[in-house]
A and B are shown apart, each in its own frame.
Chain A
Amino acid sequence: MGFHLLSPSYCCGYQPSPPISHGLLRFRPVTGIPKPSPKGQLHQSRRASKVLAYYGITTPPYKLDALEPYMSQRTLELHWGKHHRDYVDSLNKQLVKSPLYGHTMEELIKVTYNNGNPLPEFNNAAQVWNHDFFWESMQSGGGKLPQGGVLQQIEKDFDSYSNFRDTFVESAMALFGSGWVWLVLRTEEKKLSVVRTSNAICPLVWGDIPIIALDMWEHAYYLDYKDDREKYINTFMDNLVSWHAATVRMLRAEAFVNLGEPKIPVA
């Protein structure tokens, strides 16, 4: 999740950035800004006017009607255009008065989670990240089976793909209230696992690496599926989930978690 640093001349009143489409790597060119230092500390002269950091909304990596008929354009328009955007706007409003600026989104989530005693900014920050992650967890022509390394790891950790699928669906059905269901790579146990979280909580707060997410807040499915959660969840697994995104995330995750010897074929 990228962030913008504004030099002092822009600090009064910013224009929200126009939606930018992006690949999975996230860096936005920003002009005339010094390189961001670690920890978001800005080594500028104290005399300079306050620099404001803010977050921008990112667009899903597909057109809003691309997921029809499984997720309608209307849902995307509302879910992304209203709910997701609201979280971004609310977060930016909160950050104006808060000393928390300058973090990457992932850092911000961990900081505001505050070890289980979340600060007011947590809900908005986490929901911004969660929804970004959610759009990228889906694709047009999604579903079907994972392949290659992801499939191998799933088979290793769940015995079979269908076991994993059943676990995922059951977990989603058993969620009480609003929340999310995740396929995560657990950094300590070094294996894939299905977890469900309430409201805005995301596995980043425990240091785990999310691979796939499914939004189980009612606003995510109510227009298309009304109260039929089971149909929504199954449709996600069969037609929407992006195993390409999962593969990229697994690759990145393996840089941080040692999943054992790679299977190098012997010539």
Chain B
Amino acid sequence: MALRAIAGKKTLTLGLVLGPRAAAGASAPRTGSGLRHARGLVTFSLPDLPYDYGALEPAISGEIMKLHHQKHHQTYITNFNKALEQLEEAMAKGDSSKVAHLQSAIKFNGGGHINHSIFWKNLKPLNEGGGEPPHSTLGWAIDTDFGSLDALVQKMNAEGAALQGSGWVWLALDKEMKKLKVETTANQDPLVTKGANLVPLLGIDVWEHAYYLQYKNARPEYLKNIWKIMNWKYASEVYEKEIA
């Protein structure tokens, strides 16, 4: 009884935070944030890729895309949902040590879901405009903040290659300072862990699962090739929306 009341309240709060779509329980196939309601708790589901698994070849093989999407991303979502369910129970029981204990699982799996959802949108097949350099506002901002697109690419590739272990390299917009930055995050830490004002424009997954089957240990090769399928249009859209 009490649980349902709490769950109801939580849905309301979540609804306010996430917007009317979430509160109405709509699942979102198009932009693929994949929300679903069960017993009042929001559960997440795997968003569809906006292209076929093989569409990003030869930069990223279809085998990798399939595994990356269907296995890795799905696992993050499954475990994220599980952790959130356990969090709800712990909160209902007032078990603060369990609540604190669950934080790392939530950050890891939730971060994995967030990061990969952005990543799929960051990539575009060659024949659909992948790799086309940014123009207008984002293009100028890149020239201002890095000197040239090339310089930005070199910087991101250098930081991506130097990242020890697993993580991500990001092109971020600091919406306070209105400046572009290159940041890295470890494991599945989302970009906001590096600064609350940072908005991800582009992220490159440098976990080994993102490239190992195809590039083996040659991470710099993977980084060089991924720019050929980079979806600058998406980055520009996010940039213009935040700057406006």
Contacts and interface: CB of A to CB of B under 8 A. Distances in A.
Given A177-B165, A177-B166, A199-B164, A82 B217 contact: yes
B165 A226 contact: no
Given A83-B217, A176-B104, A222 B208 contact: yes
B67 interface: yes
Interface in A118-177: 123, 176-177
Contact of A219 (B108, B164, B217): B217
Interface in A35-79: 78
A227 B63 CA distance: 12
Contact of A218 (B108, B167, B186, B212): B212
Contact of A78 (B71, B104, B186, B216): B216
A194 interface: no
A82 B216 contact: yes
Interface string B179-191: 0000000111000
Interface in B146-172: 164-167
A93 to B, nearest CB: 14
Nearest to A85: B217
Given A83-B217, A227-B71, A227-B72, A176 B188 contact: yes
B164 A223 contact: no
A61 to B, nearest CB: 23
B243 interface: no
Contacts of B207: 218
A238 interface: no
Interface in B179-218: 186-188, 207-209, 212-213, 216-217
Given A176-B104, A218-B207, A226 B67 contact: yes
B78 interface: no
Interface residues of B, number: 20
Nearest to A178: B165
Contacts of B213: 222-223, 226
Interface string B68-83: 0001100100000000
Contacts of A123: 164
A86 interface: yes
A145 B19 CA distance: 56
A177 B187 contact: yes
B208 A218 contact: yes
B164 A217 contact: no
Q: Top 5 nearest A-B pairs by Cβ distance?
A: A218-B208, A177-B187, A199-B165, A178-B165, A227-B71
Interface of B: 67, 71-72, 75, 104, 108, 164-167, 186-188, 207-209, 212-213, 216-217
Given A78-B217, A223-B212, 7 more contacts: A82-B217, A177-B108, A178-B208, A217-B208, A218-B207, A218-B209, A223-B213
14 contacts: A78-B217, A82-B217, A86-B217, A178-B165, A178-B208, A179-B165, A217-B165, A217-B208, A218-B166, A218-B212, A222-B212, A223-B212, A227-B71, A227-B72
